[in-house]
Amino acid sequence: MTITGNVTCEQAWERLSENPRAVLVDCRTQAEWNFVGVPDISSIGKRTVFVEWLGYPDGALNPAFVDQLRAAGVTETDEVLFLCRSGHRSLGAAEAALAAGYEQAYNILDGFEGPIDADGHRGGAGWRAASLPWQQS
């Protein structure tokens, strides 16, 4: 199953701002939310939905992922934008959502922190690097 599409962080922000049915799902781990920070979309009257795609520390797939999306109020007709650390886990999450009947599931390229750079660091790309709103837990 392929995803509906890839969007940049800036495009995700535009969609969230303009489409009342657009939902941001952060599918990183609880540890990442607590120690790295989270997107803050409250300025546009929305809340980020937090559902782990893979567990920490074992990295096991969350078998209740789709059930937890639904329990969080994300419906199959929403435009769902998935965010992880670098855009890899969110791809799998978007594919799973489509397979479960969601109509629109997008992967946010570069995620929250972006890929590892030549020096072995993250942060040169992604949600934070794009200066989009975020907060430390």
pLDDT at 2 over 90: no
* Residue 62 contacts residue 53 (beta carbons within 8 Å): yes
Q: Mean of the pLDDT values across residues 114-128?
A: 92
Domains of the chain: 5-79+86-135 (3.40.250.10)
The chain-wide mean pLDDT, for the chain, equals 95
Residue 113: phi and psi, rounded to 5, are -120, -10
pLDDT in tens, 32-52: 999 999 999 999 999 999 999
Which pLDDT belongs to residue 1? 58
* CB-CB contact of 124 with 111 (8 Å): no
The bridge status of strand 79-83 relative to strand 5-7 is unpaired
- pLDDT value at 73 more than 70: yes
Q: What is the pLDDT of residue 3?
A: 87
pTM of the model: 0.96
